[in-house]
Amino acid sequence: MSGIVFFATNNLVRLEDFYSNLIGCEIWLKQTDCTIFKNGNLLLGFCQREDAETKGTICFYFEDRSEVDDYYSRLRDIADSPPEYNEKYRIYHFYAHDPENRKVEFQTFEHEL
């Protein structure tokens, strides 16, 4: 089974720029008022609506710390803090925010999956 996580947005054009140009997602499907992005096995959709949905956390995960560090270098200006190790979950990660203030996490697992 496959799936897509959707959010309402009030600025689809700005999110298209953020998720494709800054984050590196590809536009998988563009519809009249919805855009679906693909990044690895994640399908993430945004649909133009009057009010934006900003609850929850969008998480991108990577093979190793160097990839997390690369994203931190790109997103330093919008990151909450530098990447750090979280002992409880055994992950290396940092948080940033998209243009509508959704929390976006970038992490790598530091244990066997």
On whether both 107 and 68 belong to a single domain, the answer is yes
On whether both 36 and 60 belong to a single domain, the answer is no
On whether both 43 and 58 belong to a single domain, the answer is no
The whole-model pTM stands at 0.92
Q: What is the pLDDT of residues 35-55, one digit of tens each?
A: 999 999 999 999 999 999 999
Domain CATH for 98: 3.10.180.10
On whether both 45 and 59 belong to a single domain, the answer is no
Q: What is the pLDDT of residues 72-84, one digit of tens each?
A: 999 999 999 999 9
What is the span of the domain harbouring residue 94?
54-113
Ramachandran quadrant class, 86 (left: phi over 0; alpha: psi -120 to 50; beta: rest): beta
State how far Cα 110 lies from the chain centre: 20
Report d(CA 81, CA 13) in Å as an integer: 27
Taking every pair of C-alpha atoms in the chain, what is the biggest distance, in angstroms?
Answer: 44
Domain boundary (36, 51, 66) is at 51
On whether both 72 and 107 belong to a single domain, the answer is yes
Domain boundary (12, 35, 51) is at 51
Report d(CA 12, CA 20) in Å as an integer: 12
Looking at the predicted structure, is the pLDDT value of residue 112 above 90?
A: no
Residue 102's pLDDT is 97
Q: What is the pLDDT of residues 2-16, one digit of tens each?
A: 899 999 999 999 999
